[in-house]
Structures are given as structure tokens and as C-alpha cells.
Amino acid sequence: MKIGIIGAGQLGQMLAQAGISLGMQFSFLDPTKDACAASLGKHFCIAYDDKEALAKLAKQVDVVTFEFENVPSETVAFLSDLVPVYPHADSLKIARDRWLEKNLFKSLDIPTPLFANIESQKDLEEAIMAIGFPAVLKTRTLGYDGKGQKKLKTTNDIINAYAALGNVPCILEHFVNSGEVSLIAVRNQQQQIKFYPLSQNKHQQGILRLSVASEQHPLQPLAESYVSRVLERLDYIGVLAFEFFEVADGLMANEIAPRVHNSGHWTIEGSITSQFENHLRAIANFPLGSTNNRGYSAMINFIGSIPSANQLLAIENCHLHNYSKAFRTGRKVGHATLNSSSMDRLELLIAQVQGLINE
Amino acid sequence: MKIGIIGAGQLGQMLAQAGISLGMQFSFLDPTKDACAASLGKHFCIAYDDKEALAKLAKQVDVVTFEFENVPSETVAFLSDLVPVYPHADSLKIARDRWLEKNLFKSLDIPTPLFANIESQKDLEEAIMAIGFPAVLKTRTLGYDGKGQKKLKTTNDIINAYAALGNVPCILEHFVNSGEVSLIAVRNQQQQIKFYPLSQNKHQQGILRLSVASEQHPLQPLAESYVSRVLERLDYIGVLAFEFFEVADGLMANEIAPRVHNSGHWTIEGSITSQFENHLRAIANFPLGSTNNRGYSAMINFIGSIPSANQLLAIENCHLHNYSKAFRTGRKVGHATLNSSSMDRLELLIAQVQGLINE
């Protein structure tokens, strides 16, 4: 089976690594010349609006999917007319726009922080009255890793805030000061759904640093109920990641990502079937694989650089994933997965890896 | 790190799949145009004696290794002068020649079936008197998957037997009618050694069909002792597979393979670190990874064709490895790994996969 992937970064790379075993061949659409997944297939190094090349790509593959959601809608629509695209264009459209996304949650009775649509500085000034401080102003589209957002703590922070984000449509949200958990789910064309255990995520400067797979988290059933509603409403096909704030009385929806997700990277070694393989199984119309844990697992991101492989691989059960990207401050260049048969031991291993990180 | 691999079949493919995560890039030397690993790196589609191209390959990589041992010695010698080659040329020389191999075992006090060097029909007729029936005549080099050998049950079978194998140097061995187990071991440049649990192997028509990973096999310590002797004598670097006959009073050496091995494919999902990753760690001068089991595991080879992915992937914890090779009678085109938390359950899963095989 021939798979087209929009984007050829590390997520595309890990999808291809999983898919090779299923006998799949890959084509990547990515305008970046040295995209790290490109060597694992055919690289269409083209602009998203190059319709002639898009048509050529569509002809050469059986199905198209995404490693990131910030693809122009016209590109998705154009491809969808020529070849099956999973997840569907509609799922993508909602997931990439915080306003549509939050309204979807609301319509499905999934709690969210208070939010408002902001299309001017005046909108912002009015909305903050209802939502209160602290709040976060976020661009409706194209934000990631803490980019495209601004925290508002006092009236002073509001001044010029809308312009500071580029005078583009935004959403204002009440700031929730709590831990984050994410649920990775997958749904295939036979409407079979599987969930991974919740990941507990720690960020620094808006970038994910650590995900720890939970074992029988008390909020797992609630998270699965919320995510099921979204999957079914969207007739969703593929892996979906759903980020939640863990609050006193349960979970509040933060956002969804219509793709494999950084907080699910521990599934490569930590689950019977990784999120990458299950995404491919879903879009290829295969039965889904088990999402059960293999012991206790955690994932540590390497941002900017990767510690010495010699030191990392000397750590018990440490698996290195080096994306072969040039080191650059703030850039995700790799991760490590850790596994153990006890949570106490896992925490020791996490500390060992963290001790090697020198940012 | 840049790795050169001689051979670009499924073993090269699985090495590359493991090595991508370690940030490695691959170049393959394989005269076969559509070699299945070729798409995972640079393909030197050249003859083994094309010295200009070999020199170019050597210049582009940091270390060279092998996915099969039947490479002309001149090729290995030529490359070894230009770039580190692991396992060493000497290890390869012995492992590819059944006469040298058996003499190595003998010198290390590792029991073997009775054997004799055969360089003529007359040698054969004399040797059979000492060794007795049943016996097997095997070419000293280039045999695999039951090819290059002839079983001798009666005096009649001896007639023209030497000519039937091509009038090339052979070895005559007493035929041992027993089960086969194999031990996969790995040794790195710091002389660190790790062993996987013994695999119990079943063949049909000389081709491996099923490997089941054992858990605390009573002969594990004995096998480890024998394999250690070989690793140390050869100053061996990389993965070595050692096949034994399981006999009443212990183990008898059959042969070694100086590379990752079919009977170790279950380690991809069944071990903390696969044989492929550990081979790369060894040759790249990294610490070795844990060879502990993740539950009970088995590997089933697909010979000639692969059952429907839809049916295979519906089986609990079944992982498909499709090598993307054209289907052809007798050809290894893929395998499945099965995992379970109990041996009883594993046996049920094996029967399910075997039920799909239609040869």
C-alpha cells in the first residue's frame, strides 16, 4: 500500500518506520529541502499550492494523511477530490482552528475553560471583563509549542495584545493553572476505537518535556467518554490526540491534534502497538492493534540538542530516538523512551536521563 | 553515524529500521537491483569486485557490516583496509566455511556431530565408514536454507553425491535427529556480552518456520558458555547466532551465523532491545541494550507468500513484518511476531497464524 504524508518531519519519519513493516511505501509532501523523513520515501519538495505536483502525488498513492494540521485548506480540499484523505478534511478544519474546536467541545458537553472569539482589540477588552484574569490570548490557527499565544495577567498586558499576535483572529481563554494529561485515541474505518492510557505531561516554556504513561488513571473513563464524542461526531479516521487540563472536579478540554502526537511517543516501546502503527492501520482499513501497556513508560523530549548516545544508551532500558535534525535552540531534535516494571524505578531512570540534559 | 551494510535484503532492512532511531544513515552494497532495503539508504548496486565503487562506499561510511556471510573474502579484505569492518574479516572467514567452523568448535571443547573434510568422492566413501549413516554432506561454503546439502541414509545415496553438490569442497557430518535451539548473542567493542534467551526452532524442508523464545531454558547456561568461548576467541564484534542440536546430554554445535539471524526476529517486539538495535550498538561502539524478554514471544516465517494483512492483524498482539519482496515459492517474504503473557495463550496465537498460512 502506498501512503502519502503531508509533512516530512519526525512524525512522518516515525510513521514510515512503523509502516515499512506493514509493507507500505511512502511519499512525503514537504516544502523543506532537508526534511528528516524524506529519505524514507519519495520526497515531493513542493509548495502546498503546486496543483500539478499535488495531482501527481495523489496519483501515486492509495491514501493521504498528515503529520501536522497547519496545511492550507485548499491543499486538503484539492487532494480530497483525488484520493482518500484521512482524517477527513472536516476533522482537520476543526482541529486547526481553536474557535471551531472549542465550539465543538461545547456542543458535545465537554467542559472547557471560558472562551471568546476575538477579532479586534475591542473584542479583547470586552471579553476580558467576562473571562477575567489570568487569561491567554491565542491565535485561532497556526499556533504550536507555545507560539502564537500571550498570557494576560493584568490590565497592562492587554495593551496592544491583539496587534502583538499579528492582528489575526484569536481566541481568549481563561488560564487554567493545572496539570495536563492527554489521551491518544485511534478509530478505524470499521468504527473500531482504541484508547491508550492517559499521558501525564510536563511542559517548559510551552514545549512538552516529559510524558509519563499512566496505569489505571481514575480519570481514564471520563477522558475516553469525551474523546469518543469527538471521534464519533467527526466520523474520525486515524489517531487523535486530546489534551486536557486536570482540574479539581475532573477534566477540561484544552485542544485536539488530528494526528500522532508527541505525548504518545512512549507508545513505540511502551505499548503493544505504537500510535504510529495504529494510525497507519486505521487509514489503511486494517484492524487496530492492542493499546495495552508494556510495563511503566515515559518519554523525555530532547530540545535543541541530544545528550551523548554513549551515556544515554548506558541507562537501563533507555531507547534513543534521534530525528537526525540539525541542533537548534528550541527545536525538537529527539526523544528517549524509558520502560520499567515499577513506577519507582521509572522515576529513577527519568532522573538519570534528565541529568544528562544540558540546555 | 554512517553505516555501510553488505547486502540489502530483509536483514539489512530491519537493521536500518532500528538504526534510523539512533540517528544513523545507511548505504547498502547489493548487486540486486530491487533489493528490499535499498529504499532506506543509498544503494550501491555494484558487483562485489568493483573496487572503485567499493572504495567510494568505504569513503562514505564510518563502519561496514554484513547482513549475510557469503561475500567474497577479497571484498571483505579490500574494505577492511579502508574502513572498520565488524564482525572482523577473520570471524567471517570462519563462519562461512563449515570446515573451519567445526574445527573452531572442536578446539574450544564445544561438542559437535562427527565430521570430516571431503574433497573428493573417495574422501566421502572413506569418511562414511567412520561417521556412519545417517549423515549429511554439505558444501563447505555458500549453503543456506537447506541448499547445498544432501542427506545420506544408505550406501546408495553416496553414489555421485560429491558430484551432485558440484564437486566443491564439502564436509560430511553425522546426522543428528533432534530439535534445534539457537542462541543470539552480541558483543561490543568494550567486550561487553549479552545473550538473548534460547529460541526453539522448527524447520520444514530446511527452512525455518517457527521460533519460540524460551523462558529460563535449562540449557541456557551451557549455551552461553559455548557461545562465549567463540565470541572471545574471535574477538567478535556484533550479533552472532549459534545453532545447536538439543541432544540427550546437552547441546551439540551445528553452525554459527556472523550476523543478525532469522531465529532472532521475535526480539523486535519480544525483547527490550532487538537483535538489530544491539548489532548496531555493538558496531557503533555504544553500550548494549537489555536482552530481557517482554513476556512470551514467537516468530512465524512467511515463505512464498503472506496471508491477508486484514486477517493477521485481527489476531491478538500479532505484528506483521512484510519485507516488500515479490512472492516466490520458497522465498522468505515476511514474518509475524506474537506476544503473550502466558505460554498457553501464545500457543493458541501461533495456531491462529499458522491456520492462515496456505502454502
Per-residue pLDDT tens for B252-262?
999 999 999 99
pLDDT of residue B337: 98
ipTM above 0.90, yes or no: yes
All CATH 3.30.470.20 domain ranges in chain B, comma separated? 179-356
Q: Inspect the interface and report whether the beta carbons of B310 and A294 lie closer than 8 Å.
A: no
Report how far Cα B233 is from the mean position of its chain's Cα atoms. Answer: 20
In this model, does residue B350 exceed pLDDT 80?
yes
3-state secondary structure of A220: helix
Give the C-alpha separation, A240 to A232, whole Å: 12
Give A-chain residues touching B39 at CB under 8 angstroms: 25, 40-41
Per-residue pLDDT, averaged over A288-307, amounts to: 97
Q: What is the DSSP string of B298-332?
A: EEEEEES----HHHHTTSTTEEEEE--PPP-TT-E
Q: B114-174: what CATH class?
A: alpha beta
Q: Are B169 and B139 in contact (CB under 8 A)?
A: yes
Q: What is the DSSP string of A244-300?
A: EEEETTEEEEEEEESS--GGGTTHHHHBSS-HHHHHHHHHTT-PPPP--BSSEEEEE
Give the C-alpha separation, B241 to B260, whole Å: 7
Per-residue pLDDT, averaged over B163-189, amounts to: 95
**Chain A residue closest in CA terms to B310:** A286
Give the C-alpha separation, A221 to A242, whole Å: 14
Mean pLDDT over all residues of chain A? Answer: 95
CB pairs under 8 A between A and B: 83
The amino acid present at A328, given as its one-letter code, is R
CATH 3.30.470.20 fits A179-356, yes or no: yes
Residue A359 pLDDT class (50, 70, 90 cuts): low
pLDDT of residue B142: 81
Give B-chain residues touching A265 at CB under 8 angstroms: none
pLDDT of residue B359: 59
Report how far Cα B177 is from the mean position of its chain's Cα atoms. Answer: 21
Q: Inspect the interface and report whether the beta carbons of A319 and B289 lie closer than 8 Å.
A: yes
Residue A292 pLDDT class (50, 70, 90 cuts): very high
Lowest mean pLDDT among A170-174, A218-222, B67-71, B237-241: B67-71
Q: Retrieve residue B65's grid coordinates.
A: 557490516
Q: Inspect the interface and report whether the beta carbons of B320 and A22 lie closer than 8 Å.
A: yes
How would you classify the pairing of strands A207-213 and B207-213? unpaired
pLDDT of residue B358: 79
pLDDT of residue A224: 98
Per-residue pLDDT, averaged over B205-209, amounts to: 91
Residue B206 pLDDT class (50, 70, 90 cuts): confident
pLDDT of residue B335: 98
In this model, does residue B237 exceed pLDDT 90?
yes
pLDDT tens per residue across span B91-101: 999 999 999 99
Q: Inspect the interface and report whether the beta carbons of B310 and A323 lie closer than 8 Å.
A: no
All CATH 3.30.1490.20 domain ranges in chain A, comma separated? 114-174
Cis peptide before B218 (omega within 30 of 0): no
Give the C-alpha separation, B247 to B176, whole Å: 8
pLDDT tens per residue across span A301-346: 999 999 999 999 999 999 999 999 999 999 999 999 999 999 999 9
Give the C-alpha separation, A184 to B217, whole Å: 38
Closest-CA residue to A256 (of A278, A231, A276): A231
Per-residue pLDDT, averaged over B320-346, amounts to: 96
Residue B215 pLDDT class (50, 70, 90 cuts): confident
In this model, does residue B68 exceed pLDDT 90?
no
pLDDT tens per residue across span A76-135: 999 999 999 999 999 999 999 999 999 999 999 999 999 999 999 999 999 999 999 999
3-state secondary structure of A347: helix
pLDDT of residue B223: 98
CATH architecture of structural domain A2-85: 3-Layer(aba) Sandwich (3.40)
How would you classify the pairing of strands B250-257 and B296-303? unpaired
